[in-house]
Amino acid sequence: VHERDESKETDALKRCFYFLDMTSRSFSAVIKELHPELLVPVTLFYLVLRGLDTVEDDMTIPLETKEPILRNFQDVLEQDGWTFTENGPDEKDRQLLAEFNVVVEEFKKIKPAYKTIIKDITKKMGNGMADYVRNAEHDTNGVNTIKDYELYCHYVAGLVGEGLTRLFVEGGLATTELLKRPVLMESMGQFLQQVNIIRDIKEDHVDKRRFWPKEVWSKHVDKFEDLFQPENKEKALSASSEMILLALNRADDCLYYLAGIREQSVFNFCAIPQSMAIATLDVCFQNHELFKRNVKITKGEACQLMIESSQNLQMVCDVFKRYTRKIHQKNNPHDPNFLKISIACGKIEQFIETIFPSQ
């Protein structure tokens, strides 16, 4: 176990750790346990992206203000004293941007190789987010095809997978082999982000944002809003099944990526969010509450997953097997994707069986 030496931390760095706790429930615990070589770089990477997301998410910022900030956020990282106070009063993490100078201050001090990676990913993510800022306005700007949806998820999460993998390799905590199969790190991000988008459908709709691709929901309803009408329950569940199927197809890549990690703190950091994601996929599956409120796994379940997933690959595979079976059992023969979901579950179960044969 690694421990921080707070006596050696500047006030600005202490403030960064404070913001890490304030802005993340799930990531702060795993980041703080990371190997000392990557603790500060990954904390800053997280805060930079969290800051960027706080600009993206705030629907009270006029687009003329928002778009250039997203597109130029990588430059902010080198501007001494930069802060941003134009977030609406209710924006969850507005204080991080109001004191962003502490992030800039500490960013200066990390190794140039880490700075290059963080700046590169920030630039690509910010520009990608900007391309999608009008996502709920009308057909030409929205997430229409599954391809659009996967490209958005690439910008906000696949790129995080790439950046983190480059940091692990640069820090000597992962093999360069992980960079040679880019689909695997892409799937690590896609899986987390797709689950977030599935789970947040109601909250995003209330904020006038829409990330479920039209190509999927239009097979079942005419207008996106119709998904939320109680009389369209069956149709909404069919649309959600197809979304869950898309995410499930990434699960095997995630396990394969995890098989390539040797260092324990990096393993836990990568594995815990993935386990939470498959458990979340299970609570969303065939659950019409999804269209009414934010559904979540219980605190107890989250605790158990944290413990199980910080052991080894076998334990993480057990978690994936357990939730895949639960999904498989709930699969509804009347669902248009019944067969495909059944095959996808079977493939994950089979994949796990080939790595860890039972008995």
Q: Which residues are catalytic?
A: 152, 199, 209, 269
Among 9, 24, 53, 141, binds Mn ion (CB under 5 A): 53
Asked whether position 215 contacts Mn ion by CB under 5 A, the answer is no
Nearer to ligand PS7, 19 or 45 (CB): 45
Among 40, 103, 164, 341, binds ligand PS7 (CB under 6 A): 164
Give the range of 38-46, 70-78, 233-241, 324-332 binding ligand PS7 by CB under 6 A: 38-46
Nearer to Mn ion, 144 or 196 (CB): 196
Asked whether position 157 contacts ligand PS7 by CB under 6 A, the answer is yes
Nearer to ligand PS7, 290 or 341 (CB): 290
- Total residues belonging to the chain: 359
Nearer to Mn ion, 73 or 114 (CB): 73
Contact mark string toward Mn ion, 220..259, x via CB under 5 A = -----------------------------x--x-------
C-alpha to C-alpha distance for 285 and 331, rounded to whole angstroms = 8
Least separation in angstroms between CB 142 and ligand PS7: 16
Give the range of 159-167, 298-306, 312-320, 330-338 binding ligand PS7 by CB under 6 A: 159-167
C-alpha to C-alpha distance for 303 and 275, rounded to whole angstroms = 11
Nearest CA-CA partner of 167 in 155, 184, 179, 158: 179
Asked whether position 27 contacts ligand PS7 by CB under 6 A, the answer is yes
- List all residues 6 or more positions away from 107 whose beta carbon is below 8 Å from its beta carbon: 44, 48, 77, 115, 118
Asked whether position 57 contacts ligand PS7 by CB under 6 A, the answer is yes
Asked whether position 150 contacts ligand PS7 by CB under 6 A, the answer is no
Nearer to ligand PS7, 41 or 217 (CB): 41
